[in-house]
Amino acid sequence: MLQKFQDEILNLTETDHLDKLKKAAAEIEKKLARDKRKIVPFLLAGMDPQVPIDNPEITEAKEIIAKKWTTFSGVAKDSPVTYIRAAIIHAIDSLASDQEIANLCVLASKNIISHLKLTSGDEKVVGGFIQKLSDQVNGLANMNFAANYVGHQLPPSAVVAPLKRFKIEEKPLGKSLEAASGPKDSAGTAIPNANPKTPDEEGWSQGFAPKAAKAIGDAVNKLIEAQVGDFEQTIQGLKQTSNPFINIDVIQLKTELLWWKFAGYSTSFEKRYREMPKGILEFALALDYGSNIPSIFPIAVRYFLLDTHRELCSNPEDQISVLDFAKLLVSYKSDISDKIGDCEESPGRTTFYDFIRRVVNGSLSLDDFESIVGMSSNDTMSYGDLCVWLFEDMQCELIINK
């Protein structure tokens, strides 16, 4: 990832500078690995070319870099933020080999990235990074959601047959070793294809070794083949027993979603969605929908929510500034405060949903919108897209709090 930054954005003139930045990025990676809650704020700061130098995540990362690269301030004096962002994204790229973290990064970034003022270089590097993770997660989600929605154990009827215990057959092995030992058995009867020499004759070992090795090898191979065959039968039986249950699980989930959509009733607010004003409607849909959806889901899940919102909302494509939507939600503080839960106070970047939570609980004000969310207060979105944004931010919280 650092090499991509170097190719498109950075301008490191000394070969060892990139190595020093890699070492610093490794330290940032360790820090984020120890505290999963820091991943999203660091990601949101690292994505933004216009993030200020005094942003808390940038400041923290800068201190780490300075410890590993003592001349950093002098080298990066014209554009330190770019170097710091590169180290952050490189660290998160390494962490994203974990599918859960990759999914967390996609959920946290996909709604905000189009509102950042990315340079052409950032479009290639940062945009490409998020797209890579999105494709990776969506591929996994399509596979899981279609055939293997995990979340339940096998039913009690799924009995796995125990593996059989196999032993080497000693009698045929003994006869083969006897043939390797000499031309006659203990009764003095000639043995077909036996070692022509007796143990007291010169050259006996040359006949014994290959025949004995073959005898032992054949016996062991026969044992392995029998064991593997039994194991394959056991696995096949397990698949036949569990597949119907897994398919039923997926069908049940999809049935519940269809029932939820057509019922049009919010269990969290105990009210019909059609009776809700804008703002509360989007919040309630996001909250209720998220309670049914696994953390890794295909892109079709977004469109199902959009379609559900479209059927319940008058003029769902109407645009509203994201800040005004935040104000609208906060105006319903008494309705949502008991449903947003506790949140950690932090001065740095965070998700849109977490910003709303922190304004409601009083640790932030609406005036903090641009510095905390990272987008212009004039940017607009449709009510449907804002509903999806809330839902995906809520899913982030579920992953972080696992």
Same domain, 344 and 397: yes
Residue 260 domain flag: yes
Tell whether 112 and 191 lie within a shared domain: no
Query: Cα angle at 178 between 176 and 183, to 5 degrees?
Result: 110
pTM: 0.74
Q: How many domains does the chain have?
A: 3
Answer yes or no: is 129 within a domain. Answer: yes
Write down the pLDDT at residue 360: 93
Q: Is residue 18 part of a domain?
A: yes
CA dist 401 and 387 (Å) reads 21
Whether residue 301 is found in the same domain as residue 392: yes
Residues 79 and 214 in one domain: no
Q: Report yes or no on 216 lying in a domain.
A: yes
Residue 151 domain flag: no
Q: Which of 224, 242, 260 is the last residue of a domain?
A: 242
Domain boundary among 242, 273, 291: 242
Mean pLDDT, the chain cut into blocks of 10 residues (402 residues total): 86 80 94 94 96 95 91 82 95 95 96 94 94 91 62 46 62 73 76 78 74 76 68 57 52 82 92 95 95 86 93 89 96 92 80 95 93 95 96 93 82
187 and 300 share one domain:
no
**Domain interval for residue 225:** 170-242
The reply to whether 38 and 179 lie within a common domain is no
Based on the domain organization, do 315 and 194 belong to the same domain? no
Looking at residue 15, its pLDDT comes to 74
Residue 244 pLDDT? 47
Are 287 and 350 part of one and the same domain?
yes
Q: Are both 273 and 370 inside the same structural domain?
A: yes
Per-residue model confidence (pLDDT) at position 149? 46
